[in-house]
Every structure is written in C-alpha cells, then in structure tokens.
Structure 1
C-alpha cells in the first residue's frame, strides 16, 4: 500500500507540535487527520477506518493510555488497529507500560522526521503482515477453505473450474445455492483467487437490513446530519471495500427500493453518501449470493427484472451436498480434524458403515448440517470409531430399502427431485441398474435413460 493510501489519526493537544509532525508526515504522502483530545479521537475512529493511530500520552482529560485501552478492549473497535505512542523524555516509563497494553511502538517527541517516518512504516508493515496471516489462517482452517476446496465430485470440480476462470476478471458474480452450501466460502475463494487476496474483504448480510434507510446508511454511508443520530460522517461498505471485494449475501431479501439503488450503482459505477452531494466512484469488485430462485422472484414481483439481468452476467451455482457424494468422506475427516484442534480432543475415525450412512443421507441442510453433525460427534464425550447408530440425522432412517427424497425449505424443480431419487436408488443398489429400477418401480430401459440424462454413471461405466 502506498503512503498516499494510508490514513493516520494524530491525537495531540499541542497545536505547534501537531502541525509540525502533520507537515512531516504529509510530505511523505500520508493522509493525516488531527484532533486535540481523546474523546474526539474516539468519535473519529467510530466513523472512519484508519490504518494507524498516533497519539500523545499526556493530554488534558483522557490520556493516550485511556485511548489505547478503549481501542484495544472496548467492543465496537478494531483491536488490530496499530497504535503508536508519542512521549516526552519524562514519560518513557509510561510508554513502556503502553507497549504491555498493546501499543505497537512509542516514539520520543524529539525524534527526527526520518526516524518517525521509518518507525511508522515498520509498524504499518507489521500490521499488514498480521492481517495477511489472519486471512491465511481463516482460509486454511477447516471451517473455511475445506468446504470450498474439496472438489472430488464432478459437480464441485466443475464449479471450481468456473471459479478459476472468473476470479481474475472484474465481472460481478451471482452465487446461487441452497441454504448451507457455503456461498460465503466460495465468495472468499473467488476473492483469494482474484490476484489481490490481501485487499479489503467486506461482507454484508442483506437480510439483516430490511429497512431502506438502514441499507443505504450501511452500504452507501452517510454525512453528518443526514438523519437523526447521524453525528459523524460514516464511510459505507462501498468505500470500505475500495480496491477489494464487497460480498452482498442474501441479495434476494432486499426491498424493491433498495434494489433500485443497488442497480444504479452497478450500472453507473457511482454513488453518494446519504445526505451528501459528492459523487464517489465504486472501486470494489461486487459478489452477490442468494438461496432464492430469482427468476421466480421476478415473476412474482419481488425482485426487479433489470437488476436480475444485470447481476446474472456470470452466475454460478453451488451444488447441494447430496450431489457431492465423493466429497462427503474427505469433508467429514477435515471437519473432524478442525473440531479436534478447536476443542483439544482426540479426533475420531469414521467406520465404513457410518460413512455409508452419511453418504446415503440427502443433507437438506447441506454442509452446514454436516458441520453440526461432526461437531456433535466429537463433543458428546464418546471416543473411538464413529458407528452408524451414533449418527443423529434428521428425517427418516436411510437404512431400509426405501428411496427418501427430502424437499429443502425453498423447494426444488421436478427434474431435481427425479435426479435425487434416481441417484439415491443407484447408490442403494450399489450401481446395479436392474436393482435400482426395482426400487423405483420402473423398467431398466427407462432407468438407463434417466441415468444417462443426469450423468450418474460412474467413470468405469461411462466407457
């Protein structure tokens, strides 16, 4: 990140010293905001995301130590915001104390310009590495990338191929899929493959913003005085995601008015904060997700036709877990390893019978349901191999000969129901088509046609 992109909040009660250090830092290209008191700094930090806080230790009223403790401990602040203390000769001991409380560094007020700039660059570099490490840990944990990157099944392998093609481009992507399939995991994978994985990632759940004003304030931002309670300017998610990725989850939950505002931004690449007249440029890559059938929503008047076509340039669909037969076993093992580390317990192995039952289940809750099942198996106190009788799966037992089709809460097409029934019958019959046809009470020839239509032949059968 260039100095011209770095915003620093300077807190200093001595105007002459503040102006001198402000000039020195601005000559390096840093963007500097200056306030004289700790309470004013709190308001600034609440309204704006800074890259670094540079504060005097001794000030009237709230001290720099008080400000440091507020940033590091109080809810609503970013504890990873690097804080550098400015200290006079007689407060070095206090500066050392501040390091124990989480300050990144302290600088004596008589330090020269070059030393100050060098120390700040060092702190900013360490903060960037820390953020990258946090992102990497989040991605390599089984609760994150394992769901997205286990792609042994043809359905998932095809999706990953699509993602690798689309990720490096700036195109807006609509991610579709049932509840629990891992839409945010896939969105993060697109972000990580975009070529700029350490740039800003901002996610927002549209379902949590049902009111138009709340959506606009959160996403577009607002100016001071835009509405009752708007005491400070607030940067919206469009700005916070600058040069990165903004993920709008559950976009199908937006009101028609909010949809219209979103459409305008996507079409023009411009937006304004609430209560403001300044036109700002959209500099973020937009990813959207939904568990709804947006075509049906358009037909029923709940989703704008023009927005639907605007965001459907590059749609991708995450397959439900019931179509990822080959992925279930490695997912189970990876999730078990993840939870064993999290709870400090010995991981358990899955018996062949348990895996067969897990693979035969239709997973209406998808990967989210699988996570819950695996976590429960580890924390209930049992040890040793997981047997089929331990599995607490919702819905009818999968042990009999019946083919069970469980309808997800958002419904599915008749083709999908038929595919699901044929798939389960083939699995239960060990891919013996005559036996599967008997389960479905249809002729072997008719079943053969369905197997070919849905691509359910195993590789050894496909020639």
Structure 2
C-alpha cells in the first residue's frame, strides 16, 4: 500500500503570491492553486486535498466563507488562514470556526513549511487520538476463552497482516463488527479510518448514495456534494455490515469499484481513485441468496477471499460468565453505579438461557439489571424477571458443543471435497438434501477459495 504525496490547496488572488508559496512547498507536497473561494470550492468537491491554505481577503467570498464551506465538505481538513491585514477578532473567529492556524503576511519559506507541517501533524494527532479512544473502548470487547474465540483470534491475526478481503458470517448480535474492528486494528491500515455502512439499516436506494457519495444536484435534496463511505475509507478499512441486503444494482457497481479501485459519485462524471480494504459481514446464507438470484456469485467470491464464522453465544457458553463480568464493569463505570456482582445461581441461570440475540442481547440485559436492581448483588430472582417469558433453554454441555463443532467441520470438509455440490455431499453424509441445506445455514458455512 503506497502512501500518496500530501496535496495542499493554496488560495490567493495574487499570482505572484501563489507562485512564491507553490515554490516553497512543492519540494515536499503536491500543490494545487486557486485564485478565488469559488474556484477552491470546485477543487475541494472534485479532488483529494489534505490541507487548505487560504488568504483571508479574496474577491467574492472571503477566506472565512471558504473555511466554513470546506469544513462542511471535509470536517477534518486542516485549514490555515493567511492575512496581511488581519485583526485579532478575525483570528479568533477563524479559530472558533475550526482553522488550524492564522498567520500574518509576509512570511518566509521556513515559517510557511513549519506552519504546514504543524497543521498536518495536528490532523494526524487528532485522528490517532480518535483511533486510540475508539480502541480503548473496544480493544477488550472480543471477550472469551472458548475454543471458538481462540480460533477467531488466530484467524484475525493471520488475515490482518494481509490486504485480503474478508467475509464475516454469523447470527445477528454475535459480534461480527468487533471482529472487523480487530482486523483493522491489527493491520497496516490501523492509523487510517474505519468506516462502517450497514446495508440493512437504510432503504436499498439510499445505500448506493451512502457508498459512492453524490454531487450537488444529483437528486432532489442533494443540496451539496457529499463524499461516500468508500472515499472516506481511503487508506483505511470499509466495513460493510449486512452486505446480503444490498440491491443487485448496487452490487454490480460495488463489484466494479473493488475490481478497479475507481468510483464515480452519483451525478458525477469524474473517476475517483480509492484505496480501501473491504471487510464485509452478513447473517444470511449467501449461497442460498445466490441460488435465489438475490446475490451476485462473482461479488461473493470477491468478498469471501477469507471467510470467518462467528459462533452464536449458545455454542460458546463458557464465555458467558466472562462477558457478564466485562459488561458489569463497563456499565458500572458508565452509569456511575457502585461495584456489583451476580450471585452464582444468577450466572448459572444466564448461562442456561439460549440467547437468540447473542452477545448484544446479553449486553442489553446486563445493563438493564445494573440500572434497575438494588443492593450489592443481583440474584436469580432479578434475572428471572429480566429474561423473556418462557425462554428456550438448552442443556449446558461440553459434549454438545464439541459435537456441533465436529459436525460443522465434517460438513464443510465434505462440501469442499464435492466442490460444493450439495446433492453429492448429502449422499456422502447420509443426509437429506434439504436437511443439509438447513445445517449449512445453521453453521453459516460459505464457499471459500478452497471449495471454488
């Protein structure tokens, strides 16, 4: 992954000033110039710019107006205001509007380079701090010591070192996003952005505009240009959650984007280069979706270079006590509650529950228990009241979990041996074809490169 040169946009209405500043900066940066705020806004809408250096006094809209519009398009863009006649009030206003610095003309090349370096370093520090805050809150959320969790950690460690696309499968609430974030955190792109788009959370016709962005006037309501998630994830990772809910039209455009590394915003004609690692997730059986004509087979193979399956919580019950302790401590700090504990009988009751909503359901229930219950400990009575009525329970059994793992491995091995011919695999396994399909869906099995 090559690092592109930093691009600086310099805005001044005097050609001699533009020439002087460009000459001082071009040794270390790619420099783009404009002589008005309107010209600069057009460049910002079309090109990747890493820093804006603008004069305060400009014909037409001034530098403060340009600062405001630039921050609307790209909130984390560092902006340095230059002025030969600036006042303290203007400097204060620029700073409050988000300017990284306010410098007075004239200045020499050394001062100019120091100012630009400092503004870029400030941007890098802000991004790193945001990343560290995010990681501090999430780094230990892949909680568990079960065989399934250890296997996922090992898979994450291997795949994170590569640029391979990853398809994470598993039931809703099982922790697929945490796996995606762990891959990003351990990759060479960790200092870059982590962008997320949930394809199931938006109407299908809006997923495309969120993914690729749009130009001003591209459709009713598009009052200004907006960069899409693919652009925002440049030099980082894009996590596409519930990718199985993406429309076929958007799938076709997305396939082309990940094959070429190029996109066009809706309503635009300019090709934009993007370099984002794709990690996708789904709770659907994409093999069945392909057979039903709802998902493109070629896109499936592009996304599932490395498949990772997240087991449901009921298949790794030994992790439940650890998760309970983790959530109790986290929510205790968040809500300012004194240290509490669950009585052993309460933990045992929670361990027996089937958790159809997986880790998300457990997390929400622990937060509710912590807020609503009184006393130093939480007993089985409070747990019974918090659990849904007539909950389905399954016996706590290491033998059952081991049997499920063995069955899953046997089915996957046979499918690979049969090149994913389900009819042939069902014959070898002595199963009805429909029953095998249900097992494939239950275990979230997907066809990978070995079975292609």
TM-score category (smaller protein): 0.7 to 0.9
Q: Show the counterpart of 1:425.
A: 395
- Listed as ranges, the gaps of 5+ residues in structure 2 are 407-452
Where does residue 103 of structure 2 map in the other structure?
107
1:52 maps to which residue? 51
Q: Distance in 2 between matches of 1:146 and 1:254?
A: 31
Assess, with a 3 A threshold, how the Cα gap between structure 1 residues 264 and 139 changes in structure 2: closer, same or farther. same
Q: How many residues align?
A: 405
More moved, 121-130 vs 50-59: 50-59
* Cα distance change, pair 217–86 in 1 and its aligned pair in 2 (3 A): same
CA separation in 1, counterparts of 2:155 and 2:260? Answer: 27
Identify if the C-alpha distance between structure 1 residues 145 and 49 changes in structure 2 by more than 3 Å, giving closer, same or farther. farther
- CA gap of 1:66–1:329, structure 2 versus 1, over 3 A, is farther
Contact 2:355/2:362 (8 A) holds in 1: yes
1:195 & 1:303 partners in 2: Cα distance?
31
Q: How far, CA to CA, are the matches of 1:244 and 1:294 in structure 2?
A: 26
Deviation for aligned residue 1:114: 1.9
1:137 to 2:133 alignment? yes
Distance 1:179 1:41 in 2: 45
- Pairing 1:409-424 to 2, within 5 Å after superposition: 424=394
Which of 392, 399, 403 is the matching residue for 1:453? 403
Q: TM-score scaled to structure 2, two decimals?
A: 0.76
Contact 1:354 1:387 in 2 (8 A): yes
Change over 3 Å in CA distance of 1:278–1:125 after alignment to 2: same
Deviation at 1:345, TM superposition (A): 3.5
Structure 1 residue 71 displacement after superposition = 6.9
Aligned to 2:29: 29
Superposed displacement of residue 224, structure 1: 6.7
Residue 35 (structure 1) shift: 5.7
Quickly say closer, same or farther: Cα 1:324–1:52, change in 2 above 3 A.
farther
Which residue number corresponds to residue 426 of structure 2?
none
Deviation larger for 87-96 or 242-251: 87-96
1:120 to 113, 116, 119: 116
- Determine if contact 1:159/1:316 at 8 Å carries over to the other structure: yes
CA distance 1:182–1:44, shift in 2 (3 Å): farther
Answer with 332-341 or 6-15: which moved more: 6-15
Closer/same/farther in 2, CA of residues 298 and 342 from structure 1, 3 Å limit = same
Partner of 1:207, secondary structure, is coil
Q: Is the contact between residue 147 and residue 182 of structure 1 (CA under 8 Å) also seen in structure 2?
A: no
Whole-angstrom CA distance in 2 between matches of 1:225 and 1:67: 20
Which position in structure 2 is the counterpart of 1:154?
Answer: 147
Task: Single out whichever of 9-18 and 112-121 deviates more from structure 2.
Answer: 9-18
Match of 1:249 among 228, 236, 241: 241
Structure 1 residue aligned with 2:434: none
Residues 11-22 of structure 1 aligned to structure 2 (within 5 Å):
11-14=11-14, 16-22=16-22
Bigger shift: residues 355-364 or 161-170 = 355-364
RMSD: 3.6
